[in-house]
Structure 1
Amino acid sequence: MNIVVCVKYVPDAQADRTFSEDNTTDRANVDGLLSELDEYAVEEALKIAEASGGEVTVVTVGPEGAADAIKKSLQMGAHKGVHVLDDAIHGSDAAATSLVLAQAVKKAADGAPELVLLGLASTDGTMSVVPAMLAERLGLPQVTQVSTLEVADGLVKGRRDSDTASDALEASLPAVVSVTDQINEPRYPSFKGIMAAKKKPVETWSLADLGVDAGAVGLANAGTRVVSFTARPAREQGEIVVDEGDGGTKLAEFLAKSKLI
C-alpha cells in the first residue's frame, strides 16, 4: 500500500515561543521538532505497512529546519521523505498549506495515494482543519479524528470518540484519515533505525516543482493572520494561608472572593 503521511515541524512546546516582526511564529530562535501529534500518524502508517506491505512516504512543508521532522519520521521507520521548501510559503494560512500539501501528496504518490494520514492537529496552530481541506483538494473521502483504524478490503474504518458518544466511520480507499493521540503508542527510533535513516532518500521540492503559483500562498495572500499579540503575564506568587485555627474559614473566603464557590 502506498501511504503518505503529512507531518509538521513545530516550535518546541517547552520553549518560550513567540512571534516574529511580521506576527508569524518565530521559528528561527526556538528549537523545533516533529509535531508530537504527527508521531501517532507516522506510527499508524508504519503499522499498516508492516501488516499489509507497502511504502510510507512522509511529506512536510516548512523552512530548512523542517528537515528534522522528516529525519525523525525516517528514524521511526518511514521509507522516504519529501520536503517542500520555498521562501514564498512563509506565512501561509491553512488553506494555502492544504494547497501545497495536496500537490506534494499527488507528486509523491505518482498521482494516486492509497492512504493519506495526518495527526489530529499541529501543536502550534491547533486548528485541525488541514485534513478536511486536503481531502477536499484531493477529491477523496475523509475520516477524521479517529482513535481506532482498520484498513482492509478496500475500506478504512475508524471510531471517533466525543464526550457523549462514539461514532463508527467508514470510507472507501483511497482516503484521507486524521488520527488522535489515543490510537497507538509511537515507537522510539532504535539505533538501527537511526543509522538506516541516513541512507533513505529525501527529496526537496519548490513551488515550481509542484506547479503552485507563489501568488496563491504566503503571508500577503493569507485569509487569516495574527493581527496583534501580547506576552503572557508573569505568574504571581500565590497567597499563603497560615492555619491558626481559622484556616478553613480563610480558604472559604478566598474561594468565594475568586468566585470559585
Structure 2
Amino acid sequence: MTADHPQTRELLTRDLIRLGVRHGDSLLVHSSLGSLGWVCGAEQAVVQALMDAVGPRGNLVVPTQTSDNTDPSGWRNPPVPESWWPTIREHTPAFDPLTTPGAHMGRISEMVRTWPGAVRSPHPQTSFAALGPDAHHLMHPHPLGSALGEESPLARLADSGAHILLLGVGYDTCTTFHLAEYRVPAPTRTDTSCAAQAPDGGRTWVSVQDIAFDSDDFAALGTDLEQTGTVTVGTVGATTARLFPLAEAVRFATDWLTEHRTPAATDHTPRGEAPRDGAA
C-alpha cells in the first residue's frame, strides 16, 4: 500500500479516529514506521498523533523488550561462540528502565520510551513503556517471574479495558497473545536468565522459571480472531491497521491455544529467541 502525499500528524490522527481510537482509551501499540509512508516528522509525529487520538485522559503503551538480555547459550540469530558465554554473562550491563534501549522494538516504540514523562516497567527482558495519567499503575509491578503474565502490564491493561493497535504489523507481533499462554491448562515452564539490578543498585546475573513462549502460530490465531468480527481493520497513513479489545483477544487466544496446541507440539523457543514484537 502506498500514499501519493506525505503523511502528517493531523492526517494520522484523523485516520486513527476513523479507525475507532477514542479519547480516554488505553492503547497498546505495535508498529512499523516504514509502513506508514513518508511521515513529516517521522516517529515524533506518529507518537504525537497517537497521543492526540487517545487524548489527555488516555494512555499510550508500547513494548520496549530487551530480548538480547538473555543467556547466550540460547542465541540462534546469530549464535555466538561458546567461549564467549562466560564473558557475556559477566559483563552484560544490568537492565536499567531509564537507559537500556529496546533495541529491536522499532523507532516508534523507542520514541515513546524516551518521551518526557514516560514510565517503563522494570522487567529486564519484557518491559513496556507508557505515557498518560495511568502510566505508573499500568507499568508497576512487573516482577521477574511474570514476564508477560498475571503480574505484568498486560494483565492490568486487560483489566482496564485497553485496546491493541497493530499499525502496519501482523498478529505475529501481538505480545498480548503470550498472556493467554499463562492461562492455558498446565502451561510449560522453562528457565530464563538475564542481567538485572541488584537490591543494592549493583549488577547481578539472575535465573528464574517462567512460561516457555512460542509465537509460531500467532499469525493463524490472529486470522481466526479476525473472523469473529472483534477486529476493526482500516487504513492509517499508507498502511493497514487493526484495532481490537485486549481482554477479548486474550479470552479468545486462551481458548484457541487450548484447542490447537498440545504439549508435545509446542516448540519451546529458547528465551534468546524471544519474539521481537513491534518492528522497524
TM-score under structure 1 normalisation? 0.30
Q: Which has the larger radius of gyration?
A: 1
TM-score under structure 2 normalisation? 0.29
More strand by share: 1
Q: Which structure ranks higher in relative contact order (CA pairs < 8 Å, sequence separation ≥ 6)? A: 2
